[in-house]
Structure 1
Amino acid sequence: MFIVALSYIAPLEEIDAQLAQHVLWLKQCYADGLFLASGRKEPRTGGIILARGDRHALQQRLAQDPFALAGLARYDITEFHPSMTAPGLEVLAAPAEERAP
């Protein structure tokens, strides 16, 4: 699983101009099963995405984000293997073979 932290590197006016296209891109990533959750940071300096799958595939998909194509955001990826979750979020837990002893 991955946490992707987007940081805006352009004024909000430029972000807002690409927002509708970014949302369409997000919806496609959800439809493809890559993204699990997303939302903007507060204060509005970027966003967070929870993703699953392969790092290389994720990096390729992030490069297709309209924010990336327009040079509006930086993406920092952190991989982690959740071993515990709150009730109802068990789908986020790493498979048993990936959990630390």
Structure 2
Amino acid sequence: MFVLELTYTAPLERVDAALPGHVEWLERNYAAGHFLAAGRKVPRDGGLIIASVADRAAAEAIVAEDPFALAGVCDYRITEFVATTTAPALEAYKEQLPS
């Protein structure tokens, strides 16, 4: 499991110009089963995405396709974690610690 943290590096006007493509990218990744939740940070200086993908390489490949990244309006920080406990609705995403 991964947390994808976006930090805006450009004025909000440039971020907003890339927003329609970013939303389409989010929708594609939800449809593919890659994303569980996403949203803006408060204050609005970036966003967070919780992703369930096979490995870090897959997370990096998905991030590289984000129109925000392609437009150069944000930086990404990718954090991997093992979801050993979950809410009942996320039980299917529960993971085991590596041996």
State the 4+ residue runs in structure 1 displaced beyond 4 angstroms.
none
Deviation of 1:89 (Å) = 2.5
Q: TM-score, normalised by structure 2?
A: 0.91
Amino acid in structure 2 at the alignment position of 1:19 = L
Correspondence for 2:97:
99
Identity of aligned residues (%): 52
Correspondence for 1:82:
83
Correspondence for 2:64:
63
Query: 5+ unaligned residues in a row in structure 1: which ranges?
Result: none
The number of residues matched between the two structures is 98
Amino acid in structure 2 at the alignment position of 1:99 = L
Q: TM-score, normalised by structure 1?
A: 0.89
Distance, in Å, in 2 between the alignment partners of 1:30 and 1:100 is 27
Q: Secondary structure of the equivalent of 2:85?
A: coil
Distance, in Å, in 2 between the alignment partners of 1:65 and 1:47 is 13
Query: CA-atom RMSD, angstroms?
Result: 1.5
Distance, in Å, in 1 between the alignment partners of 2:74 and 2:33 is 23
